[in-house]
Each structure stands twice: as structure tokens, then as C-alpha cells.
Structure 1
């Protein structure tokens, strides 16, 4: 299913990396690349998701970039506001610190930290109510794909959040499809397979909300400069959630460039 023109997003998920000095150097190198040859914001939105300790520092370092590069939180608490929740960071605290975007539902959070659909719903509800934009991650395991359950699994994950998203809030959601078997493995879904799943996701979203036709759907799963051009050429792939390659400024820049030049 082809869609109206959607400005792509390329977001780097740094996960539990890197050390402070390396993070500052990485941002400086990215800023220099953008200074030398800018990627217009109208051609591709960009963001980075550092560790929680670095969110405000990275945001400040990006402030004088030649273009906007958004700072994205990797997670948010299921508890709202402030209170006695040791170790947690609420959506309101993120918003108060100038962080406007958050990842929710990454497969590592689901697998390693027991983020159930009920918990994810609380996180999404809190984030949206605090006026954060949510990058909601969905994806299937290798076993689910081999058993023919890939589409069912992913569409169920989309349906899971419908109960807590108000009609007008769908415009503040970006979906990221990340086949779990392709995360950090070097394996990548073929452009044909990725496009087929993205089209199915868009079809499912469009049955839930009119915003589904224009919502950005990103691909995540060992995205590299070498495969970014092919992925960017797919009509329903509107950007990338980049893992390991985002820890190299030149690789991340080239991926953003690929989407900016193709869309």
C-alpha cells in the first residue's frame, strides 16, 4: 500500500553505550558531518537515544547543531509524576528536562525487563499525557516467524495499545518494526520482507486510526549504510531505528543521508 509523502525519521538507539567521553566525541563528530554537508530537516528527521545519565548533557551538546537532532529517552516509568519510586524516571520528569521523545516497547525491554503489554500501556499513556512523542517498537521472534505467526504477533502488539491512545494522540506516535531475530545479529530482513510487514502494519493502523495513513513506520534490525538505500526505497519504510551503527557518527550520518535522498 503506497502512502502520502512522509518525512522519514532516523533515530540512533545507543542502548547501554558508550562511556561519557566517547558519547561527547560521537555527538561532536555527527555535528561536524552535518556542518560540512547538512541533511535538511524537511528531508529527514534525526534523533539519538543515549543512556538516561546522558540525556540532558547530549541535549545541551546538540543545541548548537546546524540542524535539529532530537534527544530521545530509551524508556519511561510506568508511574506518573513524582513519588517514592526509586530508580524510575517519569514522563513528566523527562518533559520537564526538555526531552520530548521516548522509546517504548523495545524487544530488550520486553524480554529482559518483563515489560508486559499492561506495563507498556501504562508507559504509553503516561508519555502521551505528558505530551511526549512515543516511538513504539513491535516485532516478532525467529520462532514466531518460522511458525507463520509474524504478522499476527506484530498486529497484536499494535492492537495492545489502542485502548490507551486517545484519537488525537495517534499523531504523536511513531512505530518501529524490529524483527527480534535481526537485532544485533547482523541479519536483516530482506527489503521485500520488511516492506511486506510495514505494509501490513500500516493496514492495521489505518483500521484503528486515520493517522495510520501518514504515520512514520521505521525499520530496526541491523540497519547499516550498506542496506539503508534499499530499505529507504520501500514505500512503507519511513526511516530507521539504528542500533550498533549509530555508535559510529559517519555510519549514522550515511543512513540518514540514504533516507533523505530516497524519499
Structure 2
């Protein structure tokens, strides 16, 4: 995923769609979304549905799969966790790291997200790092500062020669699952701020290879406008990615 940046249309299913539902979803979705090499489609199903998704996607190399979370240790007594090696062996190519629900529901810190990003890169997979502010932080005019604080530990451990393997998703917490979407200007402004942080850390050439996605109540009727904004390289979709027809419309909105 290096420049020129192709649109990325990613669906995070969260704790939805068991194996049989995943199979039915892809039976419908693959008939609605034509193969293409001008964009990347990615799905993050629950771990228990990963094998069903992989089986359903045989013959569609334009659709990639990732896992929703990993732990940074290679193995051990960590009940309920998945290692990066396990994810890779199962066929995952991408890993969500630091989603707002991991941060705010499960208490994951920015330092822990950095350890996960390091482990994902070391395994040769693509980390999709999620950052974003709460409504109180935005009202306090701290949105950019909060995102910078979430980025900082990651930028300290990612080298310039590997930053092009990183994907960043800006997800304002107040817009996730609420039906409230950041305005196109909100998205454009924050994406520009993230890009400037990357340029300060790595220089323009390396930084400009990093795709920055928008996430937060993305729907078929607002996806095109959001993706038309400068610096918005695609979308990370939650609830709207659970409906095959709706997500196929979002894919088509990328042009």
C-alpha cells in the first residue's frame, strides 16, 4: 500500500456475523461488487468467522481479510487472546489496532497499541491503527492534541522504511455507531493534521505513502462525499458493513 494511494474500503464487523451469516453475506456481496484492481476491499470478521470468510473469498484476491485484535506476545498463557502468528497462519493480511472500543471499553492504552503495531509489522502484516477523540475532548478543542498523543508512541517505534506498511483510520469516538457523522470539513481537517504529523516524523515522501481512512457512521449515502475530501483515502465502516447491498454501494462510491 504505497503511493499512489488506492482507496481502501474496510468493513469491521465487530461482534456480529457468525460463520453461517458470514457465508451468506459473501454469497450476496460478491455478486454485487465486481472485482477490480483500482481499490482494496477488506473485512475484519470476528475470529470465529474468519475461516468461513476465507473459504467464501476463494478466487477473489481483491478482497482481503484481517483480524480485529491481537496480543503482542508470540504464545503463552493469555486466555482469549490471538497472537499475530496465529492470525497470519489463518490467512489474515491486516490487523485492526487501537479501535476506540478496545481503548474505551477494554482499557487499552496507546503504549499497548504501539506494542501491537510493532508485533504486526514484524510479522509482515498491515496494522490499521485507529485514532480519534471523544465528544468531550472535541468540545474542549483538544481533538488534534488527543490524536497526536495516540499517534506518538507508534511513531516512535515505526521506522521510515516501514511506515508505508501502516494504515491509519481516524474515527471520532462520538461518531461511531451514533448516527452522527463528522462533517466533510472535520474529516479533511483531521486527516491533514495526521498527515502533517507523519511528515514531521518521516518526511513527505514516506508520509505520503500512508493511507488515512475515515470511520464513524459511514453509510451508503454519505460515503462518496466523505471520500471526495482531500486526504481521505477510504473508509472504515462498522454497522453499514454488515449489509451486503449497503456495503457494495459504499464500494461503488469510491469510484
TM range (shorter): over 0.9
Aligned twin of 1:15: 14
What residue is the counterpart of 1:212 in the other structure?
207
Q: 1:250, 1:32 → 2: CA distance?
A: 10
Cα distance in 1 for partners of 2:5, 2:126 equals 16
Asked if 1:145 corresponds to 2:144, the answer is no
Matched, 1:89 2:48: no
- In the alignment, which residue of structure 1 is the partner of 2:192? 199
Q: How does 1:114-133 map to 2 (within 5 A)?
A: 114-133=107-126
Contact 2:36 2:62 in 1 (8 A): no
CA apart distance, 1:39: 4.9
Unpaired stretches in structure 2, ≥5 consecutive residues: none
Match of 2:127 in 1: 134
Q: Which deviates more, 113-122 or 9-18? A: 113-122
* TM-fit CA distance, 1:5: 4.0
Secondary structure at the counterpart of residue 25 of structure 1: helix
Quick check: 1:31 aligned with 2:30? yes
**In structure 2, what is the equivalent of residue 73 of structure 1?**
67
Query: 5 Å matches for 1:36-75?
Result: 38-42=34-38, 44-65=39-60, 67-75=61-69
- Give the unaligned 5+ runs of structure 1: none
CA distance in 1 between partners of 2:202 and 2:246 (Å): 35
How far apart are the structure 1 equivalents of 2:183 and 2:19? Answer: 35
Deviation readout 1:89-113 (Å, 9 max, x if unpaired): 1011111222111000000000111
In 2, are the aligned partners of 1:222 and 1:243 still within 8 Å (CA)? yes
Q: CA deviation at 1:234?
A: 0.5
Q: Give deviations 1:168-203, integer Å, cap 9, x for gaps.
A: 221111000000000000000110111111111111
Pair 1:187 & 2:180 matched = yes
CA positional deviation for 1:17 = 0.1
The CA distance in 2 between the partners of 1:180 and 1:123, in whole Å, is 21
Aligned length: 251
Contact 1:158-1:205 at 8 Å conserved across structures: no
Deviation beyond 4 Å, 4+ runs, structure 1: none
Q: Please list the CA deviations of residues 86-139 of structure 1 after superposition, one character each: whole Å capped at 9, or x if unmatched.
A: 221101111122211100000000011111122112111111111110100000
Q: Structure 1, residues 210-231: CA drift from partner, whole Å, max 9, x if none?
A: 4211211000000001001111
Q: What are the equivalent positions in structure 2 for 1:231-250 lying under 5 Å apart?
A: 231-250=226-245
CA distance in 2, matches of 1:165, 1:51: 27
